[in-house]
Amino acid sequence: MDINNKLKTAQQTFETWKNVPFTEKQKLLAEMAKILDLEVENFGKIITTEMNKPITQSIAEIHKCALMIRYYADAENILKPDKIETEFRISQIQYVPKGVILGVMPWNFPFWQALRFAVPAILAGNTVVLKHASICFGTGNAIEDLFLKAGFPEGVFQNLEIGHAEVKEVLENPIVKGVSLTGSEKAGGEVAAIAGKNIKKSLLELGGSDAFIVLDDADFQKAAESGANSRLANCGQACNAAKRFIVQKNIEKEFLPLFIKEYQKYVASDPFNKETNLAGMARPDLADDLEKQYKKALENGAEIILPLKRISENEFIPGLIKVNSGNPILQEELFGPVGMVMIADDDQHAVTLANDIPFGLSDSVWTNDKIRQQFFIDNLEAGTISVNKSSSSDPRLPFGGTKTSGYGTELSLVALKEFVNVRTVVGN
């Protein structure tokens, strides 16, 4: 594959695509959503084959992609020029697409992550080249075919089958005007450094170690069910999964048995069986890394509630550990089926425990008291705060993190302005 030729194609397409009316672009998106729904089973099988996600969850991912695309197909055009009242005859703000944007995307939600980035960027008038995870080249090619089937011009979206070493070359190419990365803090830092050195826009959606806070006036059963699902869906391989369960001290003996019962309902099985709720991790080396982190947590004082047991090269019986503040594992992201339980004395202590980590992605708090809800909304350091529900992304609402969880916004109308130049036009 000639990377330079693909980049030149993307640039040539951009020169005409940027002038296509917003409503015409939306018609193509509506067609894309139809195709996703019609071929949902086939696309779902690609996901499960490549990264082991249970087939029902893979199919749900495709349906969510279609929902998101329809949201943008019907969205208000917030990129129209804004006319500003001044003493000048001409006085307006214009939103001009940047050009060719590189997406560096992960394997854990291979369709969702790539399309979540690409759709608003393309609707804004940019063209996109994708560097997908090495185990998801099939997904990348399927997405490129999807754009073409929907009627988009060749070059609007192209998949690059390249390795990490070639990302630098692509990002440094003068044709590429920006980059969006979803992945680890290490990868984000490296890509942001290259983008910064070359004065290019970057958007980073990185790791998380989200707090799931349960207080004494919560619906315990609902919280237990939601917490277990949030930790173990996709085998715990989600940046915004609940990872630290902060439980108020006076309900520990009542809540934990309910939570453990729900947690143990997740049993690793064949990912192509529609009854399966837990499958293996995406790669054996990721399972190796998780075991090392689990042992590190125990070596630094964590107590076993449910032992993490490896039953194949990439499958586990999910683990649950009780962790005290100060354990170095709290400075890392556990990307797999291990949950951490922490005990809080009161509301302020719960906030302190929740915030005392490098990450700030998406926290959840469970309480029926509106005053307590507002206290947590005002004091938690996260890009999203969910009340009496687990964290999840919604096409209608902005998604992004703070601290080492990244910067920039995906989803909602806000995402349409991530890869545009804001231009002032003024005069008589």
- CATH number for the domain spanning 108: value is 3.40.605.10
Residue 1's pLDDT is 59
In a shared domain, residues 215 and 202: no
Examine residue 261 and state whether it is found in any structural domain, yes or no.
yes
Q: What is the per-residue pLDDT across 149-179, written as a single tens digit (0 to 9) for each?
A: 999 999 999 999 999 889 999 999 999 999 9
Examine residue 316 and state whether it is found in any structural domain, yes or no.
yes
In a shared domain, residues 307 and 417: no
Examine residue 228 and state whether it is found in any structural domain, yes or no.
yes
Please say if the pLDDT value at position 377 is more than 70: yes
In a shared domain, residues 371 and 409: no
Domain count across the chain: 2
For residues 367 and 216, give the distance between their C-alpha atoms in angstroms, rounded to a whole number: 7
For residues 293 and 360, give the distance between their C-alpha atoms in angstroms, rounded to a whole number: 20
Examine residue 393 and state whether it is found in any structural domain, yes or no.
no
Mean pLDDT value of segment 201-205: 98
Annotated active-site residue in 185, 235, 239, 410: 239
Average pLDDT of the chain? Answer: 97
Q: What is the per-residue pLDDT across 228-250, written as a single tens digit (0 to 9) for each?
A: 999 999 999 999 999 999 999 99
Examine residue 396 and state whether it is found in any structural domain, yes or no.
no
Q: Is 136 annotated as catalytic?
A: no
For residues 80 and 332, give the distance between their C-alpha atoms in angstroms, rounded to a whole number: 43
CATH assignment at residue 261: 3.40.309.10
Give me the residues paired with residue 182 across strands.
Answer: 205
Supply 178's token pair.
């920006």
In a shared domain, residues 194 and 239: no
Nearest Cα to Cα of residue 97 among 414, 423, 416, 421: 421
Mean pLDDT value of segment 416-422: 98
In a shared domain, residues 321 and 372: yes
Examine residue 71 and state whether it is found in any structural domain, yes or no.
yes
In a shared domain, residues 227 and 341: yes
Q: What is the per-residue pLDDT across 249-291, written as a single tens digit (0 to 9) for each?
A: 999 999 999 999 999 999 999 999 999 999 999 999 999 999 9
Residue 320's pLDDT is 98
Examine residue 411 and state whether it is found in any structural domain, yes or no.
yes
In a shared domain, residues 125 and 269: no
Length of the chain: 428
Examine residue 392 and state whether it is found in any structural domain, yes or no.
no
In a shared domain, residues 197 and 231: no
In a shared domain, residues 253 and 180: no
In a shared domain, residues 79 and 127: yes
In a shared domain, residues 135 and 27: yes
Q: Is 239 annotated as catalytic?
A: yes
Q: What is the per-residue pLDDT across 303-359, written as a single tens digit (0 to 9) for each?
A: 999 999 999 999 999 999 999 999 999 999 999 999 999 999 999 999 999 999 999
Its domain, for residue 279, covers: 211-387
DSSP assignment of 135-164, as one string?
GGHHHHHHHHHHHHHTTPPTTSEEEE---G
Mean pLDDT value of segment 170-195: 97
Q: Kindly tell me the sign of the dihedral angle through the C-alpha atoms of 215, 218, 221, 226.
A: negative
Nearest Cα to Cα of residue 185 among 418, 383, 360, 382: 360
Residue 285's pLDDT is 97
Nearest Cα to Cα of residue 337 among 233, 224, 245: 233
In a shared domain, residues 93 and 217: no
Please say if the pLDDT value at position 43 is more than 70: yes
Q: Which residues have C-beta within 8 Å of that of residue 425, sequence separation ≥ 6?
A: 81, 90, 91, 92, 93, 94
Looking at residue 108, its amino acid is N
The pTM (predicted TM-score) of the whole model is: 0.96
Annotated active-site residue in 185, 205, 381, 410: 205
Q: What is the per-residue pLDDT across 56-104, written as a single tens digit (0 to 9) for each?
A: 999 999 999 999 999 999 999 999 999 999 999 999 999 999 999 999 9
